[in-house]
Structure 1
Amino acid sequence: MSLTLIWLRHDLRLADNPLFHFETPPEQLMCVYVLDSSWLLPLSGINVPRIGPARLRFLWESLIALRGELLKRGSDLLVRIGDPASEVTELATHHGASQVRVRRDAGWDETQATTALQERLGEGVSLWQSDGGLLFDEACLPMPLDTLSSGFSAFRRKAERQWAVSDAAPAPVTLPPWPDAAPRGFPALLTVCSRAARWTCDSRAALRVAGGEAEGRSRLDHYLWQSGAVSCYKQTRNGLLGTDFSTRFSPWLAQGCLSARQVHDAVRAWEAEHGANESSYWVIVELLWREYFHWAARQEGVALFGARRLPQADAPFRAWCEGRTGLPFIDAAMQELAVTGWLSNRARQNVASYLVHELGGDWRMGAAWFEHALLDYDVASNWGNWRYVAGIGRDPRGHRFDVLWQAERYDPEGAYVAHWLPDIAKLPPGKSRHRPWSVSPERFSPPLVMPRRESEACQANPILADDPGA
């Protein structure tokens, strides 16, 4: 009796997932997710696990939702904790799988795990891989992967000249049954990480998200069809407070509860009914940024991460992590990240720039902290964007932001900093909230490092969010 094992990673959905589409369905199907146990161990240097409680909670919600969808179609889900390649090899061997299916992920660790699996699988077991979740398959890229442009603009121009994005595929109606002798289900989150089981989003957050394919589609429908916020995305995307100034699709895209093609199709459908405009076009541009970072990470391999061993965290880095730099715009953002797992695009740009260019911090430390703290962490976008800000690798220029100028432009009344910093809320609206040491030196000390001034012309606008409109 033929048995296929689907190894799920960052593709926790049934719709537009090539892993679930068969030319000839197997007689039995196992769907397996393995939480890499190394993600739960403290990272050297910063002494926190690679996956923090916010993302782990979202992941577990996504797995629970996926299991429900699988059960409706006659299948099920097994979740294990351990070394992914070892766990999948053991399951495939023990239950006699003839094929293992897995998505090609951009991360180096995931690539190494796939290679290890291929080496361990016995004769007669094939490994089938797909490029699911993206706009393009590798064969449809606007340029060969080994000649991927060093900058986004060239990639975007070529992609737009020969635009050919396949339609998102529907979810299967039924699936082959689960093998009788195979285990199923997964451990309670409380036994995996008690902090994640108890984690709740801070009440000050404008939007609280839950994992799962249905939740992702609900957010997509809200942003496009219910609120119509897509019609003014270009004008609002630099916002700091509120629910709909950005798409906030990124958590579901990062875990694969939504695919890029699903977002693309939905935006094109909205444009067909309401007319395309600069804002709807810019959501597509954000998808292209995400696409570019994925393929760049595939091309870079392990070099994406720089030297893998991190230095020990120093006092300025700890102050940055904990929102204690003395600069309200930075501290408010880091407080928001700590208690919600999310940051706006504009805030991500500024906190990254301040760590690297003002505090002199190691960009890899910042990227690792984001990996721990972000709800919507995506390996390619996160590490690619930190390299971009630092001027490492593909774009050696570096991108430094005048943080005070940014704060006063994008938060002119200080509403954002007052929202997250109670002491700042006691000051009158305006510039004083961004420079509290100048109006109340007895209560507020100057920041650890005073940002250097730059002209307005130097304000670059990289996309630092992990996914469209994050």
Structure 2
Amino acid sequence: MNGAAIVWFRNDLRLHDNVTLTEAIRKSERVYPVYCFDPRHFAETELELPKTGSYRAQFLLESLQDLRNNLRSIGSDLIIRQGVPESVIPQLAKEVGASGVFASKEVTFEEISVEKQIEDKLSPVGIELELIWQSTLLHVDDIPWPINNVPDIFSQYRREAEKITKVRDTVPTPQSLNSIDPTEPNDIPSLEQLGLSYVEIDERAVLPFRGGETAGLARLHDYFWEKDCLKSYKETRNGMLGADYSSKFSAWLANGSLSPRTIYEEVKRYERERVKNKSTYWMVFELLWRDYFRFITKKYGNRIFQFGGIQEASPDLRDDIALFHKWKNGETGVPFIDANMREINATGFMSNRGRQNVASFLTKDLKVNWTWGASYFETMLIDYDVCSNWCNWNYVAGVGNDPRANRYFNIMSQAQRYDAQGAYVRHWIPELSDVPGKKVHYPTEIPQMELANMGVRLGEDYPEPLVAFSKWLY
């Protein structure tokens, strides 16, 4: 391949360790980077919410501005287009006289469908579409199974993958880009132009998330080297308050502003220069979980989005919209659940511990359709990753990759374990702090009768939240 090439940026919004961009530069004389705003990503879901909400969209816009700035620093620019990629990309390829289009390979149905339609339009006119795998720590071609044989239990996958598979080296960041300006690059749209409203992130948020690889690399450096948090990551990762109980890399990983292999190489450098312990291993362990859900999505395809999940089960759940709204608004009367839901609503983020608990509560206690919860997270989360989100919800709902049948999170014991002093609950439910002389009290045992009846009571004449919270005070 020679002449001009398009690099279609998707969930790989970076210059560092970008194999797609590297290959385009190596094989082409001129490279035209482009990002396409697909209107389907901002359409309403069945819950009458935008598929991409304001928090994630703002993070995306910041990431694209940073990508544009970085491309300009090496003599290029980012072409912005709006419309369905299967129309926009072939048209742009003709405009610039491209002989090839390079893009990262995705694994979910909608994205694969777009890839196929683009290829069908490019191939007859002699333009090649080259799709490159670069979304995971371990390359799909290096794991010791064909995709259809990837184990359905993570521990089995991890043991074999760790033993056999080597992480490929990162590729260098390009220092210049052989690109000219063939067409109007266009401005990056505003939230309003995408049909969204700006939402101010609550000052109580764990971190002032800023999109883009510059911010992502800065967070990596700060967390590992400046604050030296990696050495205790395993002990603190289940925290719920503050910037540094966990890495928060997920936001930058989700849209590809940060490469998982770059994180891995920094872990290895940290182990050489500072300490190698369970925490440094656990950081890599979490990246392997992320990989696993992507491989499972590739294996099972659309089943991860369906009510029966990858098990094709028949969960005993119902479409109770009133209960769902109580849950999503943080108005169930159960402080530990409500505090977590208020956090995601106010910031676009929630801890991993919180996500597991609110998902379990929706599906196991309220018995509400799990796909609604997954869809709500898709709208709200800054760090939404399609594979991790939907596979995790499969897992908690009991229709996914869980070796333990009927997994259940005891909300009371979880609250006692992870928020024993009630600091997290008071942080997000100030009403509890406003009651003089009272402290949050978590029973040591679950009030089984209350939880058994909660779905019925919440759907009927349930008391106002503060009244319901009063039984948690002493």
Give the structure-1-normalised TM-score. Answer: 0.89
The aligned runs of 1:216-295 (5 Å cut-off) are: 216-295=216-295
| Aligned mates of 1:443, 1:329 — CA distance in 2 | 13
Q: Alignment partner of 1:276: what SS?
A: coil
| Aligned mates of 1:311, 1:358 — CA distance in 2 | 12
Tell me how far 1:304 sits from its aligned partner. 1.4
Tell me how far 1:313 sits from its aligned partner. 6.0
Q: What per-residue deviation string (whole Å, max 9, x for no partner) do you get for residues 348-387 of structure 1? A: 0000000000010111110000000000000000000000
Question: Residue 424 of structure 1 is aligned with which of 414, 423, 432?
Answer: 432
Structure 1 regions of 5+ residues with no counterpart?
451-470
* Cα pair 2:74 2:177 within 8 Å, conserved: yes
- Partner AA of 1:381 in structure 2: S
Tell me how far 1:124 sits from its aligned partner. 1.3
Tell me how far 1:81 sits from its aligned partner. 2.1
Q: Alignment partner of 2:66: what SS?
A: helix
Question: Residue 399 of structure 1 is aligned with which of 391, 402, 407?
Answer: 407
Tell me how far 1:137 sits from its aligned partner. 1.8
| Aligned mates of 1:195, 1:151 — CA distance in 2 | 40
| Change over 3 Å in CA distance of 1:442–1:155 after alignment to 2 | closer
Q: Alignment partner of 2:225: what SS?
A: helix
Question: Residue 135 of structure 1 is aligned with which of 112, 134, 137?
Answer: 137
| Change over 3 Å in CA distance of 1:351–1:78 after alignment to 2 | same
Identity across matched positions, percent? 38
- Partner AA of 1:157 in structure 2: R
- Partner AA of 2:51 in structure 1: R
| Aligned mates of 1:193, 1:116 — CA distance in 2 | 24
| Change over 3 Å in CA distance of 1:394–1:411 after alignment to 2 | closer
Q: Alignment partner of 1:5: what SS?
A: strand
- Partner AA of 2:441 in structure 1: K
Residue 177 of structure 2 corresponds to 175
Residue 17 of structure 1 corresponds to 18
Question: Residue 329 of structure 1 is aligned with which of 321, 333, 336?
Answer: 336
| Aligned mates of 1:393, 1:346 — CA distance in 2 | 18
| Aligned mates of 1:433, 1:203 — CA distance in 2 | 30
Question: Residue 413 of structure 1 is aligned with which of 405, 421, 439?
Answer: 421
Tell me how far 1:123 sits from its aligned partner. 2.9
- Partner AA of 2:335 in structure 1: P
How many pairs were matched up? 441
Q: Alignment partner of 1:98: what SS?
A: strand
| Change over 3 Å in CA distance of 1:33–1:431 after alignment to 2 | same
1:120 equivalenced with 2:121 (yes/no): yes
* Cα pair 1:106 1:379 within 8 Å, conserved: no
- Partner AA of 1:14 in structure 2: L
1:344 equivalenced with 2:351 (yes/no): yes
Tell me how far 1:144 sits from its aligned partner. 1.7
| Aligned mates of 1:36, 1:166 — CA distance in 2 | 32
* Cα pair 1:32 1:77 within 8 Å, conserved: yes
1:303 equivalenced with 2:306 (yes/no): no
Tell me how far 1:177 sits from its aligned partner. 1.1
Q: What per-residue deviation string (whole Å, max 9, x for no partner) do you get for residues 240-298 of structure 1? A: 10110001001000010001101101111101111210111111100000000011111
* Cα pair 1:18 1:130 within 8 Å, conserved: yes
Residue 90 of structure 2 corresponds to 89
| Aligned mates of 2:224, 2:31 — CA distance in 1 | 36
| Aligned mates of 1:24, 1:263 — CA distance in 2 | 25
Structure 2 regions of 5+ residues with no counterpart?
309-316, 451-462
Residue 50 of structure 1 corresponds to 51
| Aligned mates of 1:154, 1:190 — CA distance in 2 | 43
* Cα pair 2:359 2:393 within 8 Å, conserved: yes
Residue 314 of structure 2 corresponds to none
* Cα pair 1:223 1:247 within 8 Å, conserved: yes
| Aligned mates of 1:34, 1:215 — CA distance in 2 | 22
Q: Alignment partner of 1:348: what SS?
A: helix
Residue 101 of structure 2 corresponds to 100
* Cα pair 1:134 1:260 within 8 Å, conserved: yes
Tell me how far 1:446 sits from its aligned partner. 4.2
1:365 equivalenced with 2:376 (yes/no): no
- Partner AA of 2:255 in structure 1: Q
| Aligned mates of 1:311, 1:80 — CA distance in 2 | 41
1:320 equivalenced with 2:330 (yes/no): no
* Cα pair 2:74 2:175 within 8 Å, conserved: yes
Q: Alignment partner of 2:98: what SS?
A: coil
Residue 186 of structure 1 corresponds to 187
* Cα pair 2:55 2:199 within 8 Å, conserved: yes
| Aligned mates of 1:20, 1:442 — CA distance in 2 | 54
| Aligned mates of 1:246, 1:443 — CA distance in 2 | 30
Q: What per-residue deviation string (whole Å, max 9, x for no partner) do you get for residues 79-109 of structure 1? A: 2222121111221133321101111113221
Give the structure-2-normalised TM-score. Answer: 0.88
1:213 equivalenced with 2:213 (yes/no): yes
| Aligned mates of 2:167, 2:91 — CA distance in 1 | 37
- Partner AA of 2:94 in structure 1: T
| Aligned mates of 1:340, 1:264 — CA distance in 2 | 28
| Aligned mates of 2:307, 2:91 — CA distance in 1 | 32
Q: Alignment partner of 2:90: what SS?
A: helix
Residue 39 of structure 1 corresponds to 41
1:144 equivalenced with 2:146 (yes/no): yes
| Aligned mates of 1:442, 1:59 — CA distance in 2 | 37
RMSD: 2.4
